[in-house]
Amino acid sequence: MSRYDFDLFVIGAGSGGVRAARVSASLGARVAIAEMAQPGGTCVNAGCVPKKLLYYGSSFAEAFRDANGYGWDVLQPQFNWNRLLQHKDREILRLNQIYTKLIVDAGVFILYGKAMLTGPHSVVINGTTYTAEHILIATGAQPVLPDIPGAHYAITSNEAFHLPQLPEKMIIVGGGYIAVEFAGIFNGLGVQTTLVHRGHLPLRGFDEEVREVLAQEISKKGVRLLLNTEVTAFESAGKQLNVQLNNGTKELTEMVLCALGRRPNSASLGLETAGVSLDEDGAVIINRAFQTNIPSICALGDVTNRLQLTPVAITEAIALANTLFGNQPTEVDYTDVASCVFSQPNLASVGLTEEQARVKYGQINVFRNSFRPMKHTMTGVNEKTFMKLIVDQTTDKVVGAHMVGAEAGEIIQGIAIAIKAGVTKSRFDSTIGIHPTAAEEFVTM
């Protein structure tokens, strides 16, 4: 008989926490999970899922516009923001219920409330202390506001999902994927949208050429870009806001959305009491087995600030469960993790950028193609699709693939499998394409 109440106590019922709990329970562990809000975490409640739904909603504006080129007379469309939010909230509630059912059906004991560590093997929640052989921190991260005067006037992505009404004008501060995605969403819904970013291009970390292409494409669609520009303060101006910029000018707008990164949710968890080490950003420091400096306490997902992607957290969760309870020590391979920015148009990427490949391999071959998608030959829209392959010249291995264009994420996902398997450029060349598709360009470059 174990001297602990549970074999595993999970704090946080997001994608990583729920998967770790379920897989561990399936391996025979006695598991509890604690959640302060609704199951599903950021991805379901304030991230991937609702953002993709709003992205779909905003994309209909272009669909209505393009229809004329294909013989459709579309009457003046009318958009209802509140209806979109109601339908989005209904879908999120459905997913919350599914997550709850998955947890319960797996035999996991679920607790609602704020959980805090009181030691290496103990957690208190709602006044009751529970003990566990292993404790998992899977509390995710949250958006941050800048440390500048008037920051409280701005909203974050959390509030963007629940606006009572759409503004006529909006400024989005930031240049990461969240900023770029929301710029496309609100611009597509008819909001005059300006993106202010301190860098020379949005999406730092992606391939430089791809970043240039995307900046051009989102500008074509009406998003105003203020690059190499920093916000220094926000000031109230009646029902509007003045946004003070570092060049001495001011921008008047109705709303400001700050998308300047996310901070790990590590505060007020009792981690200091338990002796767990954090880095300077508040991220939980872990080894390759997801253990903190206190071996009985583990962490995974966004709270560790490695790769803040839902599939990464899920993969880490499965590896942890197998390591702890499956007698199968497992590490996660973080190379060639594909990702997609649901900008308009999409940007998707896997493997190395051209810049990274030149540093790692020296001699590389770069293949690229830019073309007008077949769909737009009859819409009159001047949108370009861009594709790029990076190849190690010595081995002929494809070490990077990048795309800007419609359904880029769907296309790159398949290519990611090939790159993970070590595909060569000659294999791409010998593959017969599906015609007529945009994807076939990857095998005809």
Is pTM beyond 0.85? Reply is yes
Contact 413, 386 (CB under 8 A): no
Domains of the chain are 6-142+263-325 (3.50.50.60), 151-260 (3.50.50.60), 339-443 (3.30.390.30)
In the annotation, is 435 catalytic?
yes
Q: How many CB atoms lie within 10 A of CB 324?
A: 25
List alpha helices for 336-424, DSSP H.
354-361, 408-420
Per-residue tokens: 275 = 């002796």
User: How far apart (Å, rounded) are the C-alpha atoms in residues 163 and 150?
Assistant: 20
The DSSP bridge pattern shows strands 262-264 and 255-258 to be unpaired
Q: What is the pLDDT along the chain (445 residues), one digit of tens a residue?
A: 579 999 999 999 999 999 999 999 999 999 999 999 999 999 999 999 999 999 999 999 999 999 999 999 999 999 999 999 999 999 999 999 999 999 999 999 999 999 999 999 999 999 999 999 999 999 999 999 999 999 999 999 999 999 999 999 999 999 999 999 999 999 999 999 999 999 999 999 999 999 999 999 999 999 999 999 999 999 999 999 999 999 999 999 999 999 999 999 999 999 999 999 999 999 999 999 999 999 999 999 999 989 999 999 999 999 999 999 999 999 999 999 999 999 999 999 999 999 999 999 999 999 999 999 999 999 999 999 999 999 999 999 999 999 999 999 999 999 999 999 999 999 999 999 999 999 999 999 9
Of 162, 200, 402, 435, the catalytic one is 435
